[in-house]
Structures are given as structure tokens and as C-alpha cells.
Amino acid sequence: MIDYSKRLAAVQKSMAESHIDLMFFPYSANLHYVTGIAREEQNYGNTIYPGDWMTGAWIAPNHSPILTVPRMTADFHSTGALSAYDVRVLPDAGDPAALVRDVLAALDVPAKANLAIESRARAETVMKIQSLRPEAAFSNATDIMAPLRVIKDAEELAILRKAGEITEAAYAAARQNMRHGMSTLDLITEVNYQLKVHGSYSPSFVTTFYNIGRAFPFDFHNHEAILPLPLNPPVCILFDFGSVFDGYCYDYGRTVFFGEPDAEYLRVYELVMASQAAGIKALKAGNTCEQVDAIARAVIADAGYGDAFRHRLGHGIGMDVHEPPFLAKGNTTELRPGMCFTIEPSIIRVHQVAARVEDIIVVGADGGIPLTAGYQAMDVLA
């Protein structure tokens, strides 16, 4: 069980040390991290309630947090975690500026305050707060939150491990239903269904397939056009998806081949797996992010496929599916035990060959600790 009061105390301590008078979080991973108030699955179109700009938590170093929400949010979209806090509800015809003005007074926020705002807050929110505290100085709340979130404790790792179990179970079930001639749209629908069936709140990001065949027209720029096209052998099916469990995100990749892979496909797959193994071994405390990337990348580059490894080796992950730091050239962050990263090498040459794999790995004293390790061999659907 995560101790949110302990997290709040750590945040307030860091705020005091940084001379931050007030921090504001809209519904976000940071709000979820500190309070346990869950985010919602996002809509494509924007939904707006009266006074929606001030929806979120106002945190001061020496006061209990105050949450402000519009009436419709309080009625229809709130979670049980709200009951633990001072919640102030804005009526449909209420004045949001007046409500926030009262909150600032209750939290003793001075005129020349130092205010830290969630990096993904609306511009409208910042402008409204500026109108209420025109002499305030603004900073990014990420400076406070990122150092607190980067190391995952035992409870967080247990949640991520469960998210991995859900993701692998969804993969296994989807794999059983895969058939030659199905489309990418069929695959996306099947994977998203299996995620829900096996306990995921939602996909952690848009479920994606990079399907490469010598006669298949995928080219990175035609996702919509190829969705309904049949996937007939020979074609390589590259999974990229993840679950959400108890607020934490998983990110996962595997390769399935429709038909009989030729020698180059088999070689490319072995190179990707060897690259991942090298990256996992290098993911140990004391190494830097760029060192891990270089070690794993060298396996593929030395074999002549360096141009086909198009991206960084991996990224931090936790309550957001992408978190800093990143396993990439130029990132000199030193690894510490408890950091979590994806290790996701790939080789993709459009209309030629492809393979990819992705797992979440925990930084350990002597090397990385995978949270998922099944389905290591190329999965062939002959």
C-alpha cells in the first residue's frame, strides 16, 4: 500500500528547501503521485466545465492541500481519494477566481510568492493565477517532482511487476487469436480488448504496430492508410503497447513473424535480442545513461545495421509512460538502484527486415532486473 501522506511530506519538505510558497497540480501524474487521486482515461476532444482551469490541488509547505473542482467533476468524475482532502467545489454559476482567491488566502500565499506549476498545466491556468498574484515568480514543478519520482520503491516495483503480468497475459491471449490475413486494425482492437480483459485500466499509450514485409507498404507515414490491409506472409509483426495498473504504466514489445522467416530475418532478430541483453547487463548503478545506450547500440552497429536502429535505447517509466532520464547519447545521468527504464532496441529497414523487443528493467547494483522476461524466441506463425 502506497503511503501518500509520506509522499506529501517529502514534497512539502522539498518545497520548503527550495523556498516554494505554493505548488499547483491539475489532474496529472504528479497529482496522482502525491495524493492518490487518479487520472482519467483521456478523451480525443476537449471537455470543459465552468471554471475547469482551476481543477487541481494547491499545496503549500505548512498546510494541508486544498483541492478545487467544478461541480460536474465533483459529481461525476471524482474518486474516493478526494474524501481525504479539503475539497472546495465551484458551482456551475460560481466565480472561479473568487474561489481561488480564498484558497490562496487560506494557504497564506504572499503577494510576491514563489509559485511552482505543473509543466502540463493549461496556459489559461497560469494566466489566471498571474492575474491573482501579478508579483509572483513562477517555476516548473518538475524541478521538485522529478527527483522524488525517479527512484521506485518496493511498493511501486510491485505495481509495475503486476502491470507487466497484465501486459504479457494480454500479449499471450492476442497471440492465440492471430491469423494470416488479419489487418493491423484487427491487431490493435484485439490487443486493446485483451488489455481490458486482463485488468488494465486502459492502454498506457496508443497501441501501435510496425509491420514490415518486403511487399507490405508500411513506411512510418501511412498508418491510417494501411490499417485495413491484410497481413499476409511474409511479414514481421512488431508489437508496441502497455497496460495501466494502479496508476503505473507498462511499455512492452515483441516480434511475431507471419510465414517462414529467412536467414536475414533470423539474424536481425538475434542481433536485437543480443543488444537488449547487453543493455540489461549494462543497466547497473554507477553507469551513465549514455554508456548503456552505447553498449547496446554497438551490438547492432558492429553487425552493419546501425542505420536501422533509429531511436534511443530507452526511457524512464513509472506513472508516466515516458519519464526522464533517457538512455541516449549525451545523457550523462548516473544510474541509481530503483530507477526503471525500457530497454527497446530495434532494427527496422522498411520493405526489407525488422525486429524489436521491449521490456521494463530496474537498475540494480550488478545489472538490470527485468520485470518481464517471457517470449524471448521469435514467435513464428507459419
Q: What is the DSSP letter of 318?
A: S
Q: How far is it, in rounded angstroms, from Cα 314 to Cα 342?
A: 5
**Number of domains, the chain:** 2
End-of-domain residue from the set 149, 179, 203: 149
Whether residue 134 is found in the same domain as residue 210: no
Whether residue 217 is found in the same domain as residue 266: yes
Residue with cell 497564506: 108
Whether residue 69 is found in the same domain as residue 162: no
* Sign of the dihedral defined by the CA atoms of residues 148, 150, 151, 155, in that order: positive
Per-residue pLDDT of 64-83, as tens digits, reads: 999 999 998 888 765 677 77
Whether residue 164 is found in the same domain as residue 92: no
Whether residue 352 is found in the same domain as residue 300: yes
Max CA separation in the chain (angstroms): 70
End-of-domain residue from the set 115, 131, 149: 149
Mean pLDDT along residues 105-121:
97
Q: According to the model, what pLDDT value does residue 78 have?
A: 59
Mean pLDDT along residues 293-311:
98
Residue 254 C-alpha cell reads as 515483441
Whether residue 72 is found in the same domain as residue 168: no
Residue 29's domain is classified under what CATH number? 3.40.350.10
Provide the pairing of β-strand 66-70 with 369-370.
unpaired
Whether residue 86 is found in the same domain as residue 173: no
Residue 357's domain is classified under what CATH number? 3.90.230.10
Flag whether pLDDT at 272 surpasses 90.
yes
Whether residue 280 is found in the same domain as residue 374: yes
SS3 69: strand
Average pLDDT along the chain: 96
Cβ–Cβ < 8 Å for 335, 369: no
Whether residue 172 is found in the same domain as residue 266: yes
Whether residue 279 is found in the same domain as residue 362: yes
Whether residue 91 is found in the same domain as residue 238: no
Per-residue pLDDT of 249-269, as tens digits, reads: 999 999 999 999 999 999 999
Whether residue 215 is found in the same domain as residue 74: no
- Residue range(s) defining the domain that contains residue 181: 154-381
End-of-domain residue from the set 121, 149, 177: 149
Q: What is the pTM of this model?
A: 0.95
